Amino acid sequence: MNEFRTLLDRFWVTRREDRELYFALKRAQPDYRRLVNEALGWNLIVNESVVKLEKVPPRAMPWMGIQSFQEPMDYCLLCALLLFLADLDDGAPFLLSSLTKALGTFLAEIKPVDWTQFLHRKALVRVLQCAQETGLVVAYDGNSAGFSGDQNQEVLYENTGLSRHFPVHFGRDTLQCRSIEDFEALSGEGDNTERRRHRVYQQLALSPGVYCSPENQSDYEYVKNQRRAIGASLDEALDGELQIHRNGAFFLLSEGERCGMVYPGTRALSDAALLLCAQLRDQILSGVYRRREDDTVVLSRREFRYEIEGCRAKWGNGWGPQIRAMSLDRLVQELTAYMAGWMLLEELEEDIVLCPAVGKLVGHYPPSYHNELHGEDEDGPLEDE
């Protein structure tokens, strides 16, 4: 079901940018619409301009944000840009100077902007580049990147008309929502059985897995009881295998298959995480760290830092040049954030909680490897388990 995988992998497919794929997705709707509506509970938008699958997650995760955005200001500017575009006709031209003036007005009482400040101009550049990549606007004359260095930079844009399809359609009044949890509650409204089915399928399609925990117990039991149906549906749609364990359920793509961001990936941080997980599993099995009843393990931040330091001393010469050049503090920060994003650990104020997947997703260098220093563009060969 390649069409479904395409929609899962992309924000949307527009007729303007990819006409052939756009019509292929429209023709194939009967093949994936039932999975989308009944199992996942997502909206499928199909019109004369775009095909879009609104992939609302059951629980928001840090990695689900726009990767190029760096500050809350970026998101405020994006929302203001959508308001600006909503007032324009499809195909209407506009200048960067008129946009900046309007953004200042929209955000005056929410997040005031000052275009004399470099950081504010740089934030708008990130938003405009995202808008161009997504297809919200087209730049006909000029380059938005120059605005970061010169607030008088002028660019001529065209409104494509796609902005009206950008926001998620919750089908409910969102004016009272004040937090992420409020929006998560909106997407979870409805019959308990139906809501659980949607939540489980969404979690397995978008995230590494479903853990067995007090708050997720009913979801985990549902996966266990419906493993055949869930496994068959996801295998047909994504080509992979549903694996059930005592402490969680994981959907793993088949060898060589890719869909969106995957773990392990090609980044050197992915190799470092696999090697660290293998080391942590050995330490746990040898009794250095104690497993709790739910198979999680609590380490102090000092202990976690010590394990990363030991892993780098043993295997670090096989990592890429960028990660080798990091200070230990920076490496700890990067690895912690990366592993948290893949549900391998959770951060507490003073401690690190290792999730059960740490013992499942591990990797080793071949026995012939002796921590030799590799070339500037070469990473050591890694064998996954």
pLDDT value of residue 327? 94
pLDDT per residue as tens digits for the range 71-123: 999 999 999 999 999 999 999 999 999 999 999 999 999 999 999 999 999 99
Say whether pLDDT at 331 is over 90.
yes
Given this model, what pLDDT does residue 307 score?
96
CA distance 319 to 379: 5
Beta bridge partners of 54: 43
Is the model's pLDDT at 258 over the cut of 70? no
Distance CA 219, CA 197 (A): 8
pLDDT of residue 187: 64
pLDDT of residue 382: 43
Render the burial of 138-174: b for 16+ CB within 10 Å, e for the rest. ebeeeebeebbeebebebebebbbbbebbeeeeeeee
Task: Say yes or no to pLDDT of 266 above 90.
Answer: no
DSSP 51: E
* Residue pLDDT, tens place only, 350-385: 999 999 888 888 888 887 776 665 544 444 444 444
Q: Give tens-digit pLDDT for 207-253.
A: 878 887 777 788 888 999 999 999 999 999 888 899 888 888 888 88
Q: Which fold has domain 72-165?
A: Arc Repressor Mutant, subunit A (1.10.10)
| Residues 128, 154 contacting (CB under 8 angstroms) | no
Instruction: State the pLDDT at residue 381.
Output: 42
**If you count DSSP H runs as helices and E runs as strands, how many of each does the chain have, helices first?**
14, 14
**Chain mean pLDDT for the chain:** 88
Three-class SS of residue 104? helix
Does pTM top 0.75 for this prediction?
yes
- Topology adopted by domain 268-384: Arc Repressor Mutant, subunit A (1.10.10)
Confidence of residue 343 (pLDDT cuts 50, 70, 90): confident
Distances (CA, A) of 74 to 99, 139, 156, 166, 182: 15, 19, 21, 16, 22
Query: Mean per-residue pLDDT for 307-311?
Result: 95
Whether the pLDDT of residue 125 is over 90: the answer is: yes
Q: What are phi and psi of 292, to 5 degrees?
A: -85, 175
Where are the chain's structural domains? Answer: 72-165, 268-384
Rounded mean pLDDT, 300-328: 91
- pLDDT greater than 70 at residue 69: yes
Kind and range of the H or E element at 73? helix 72-86
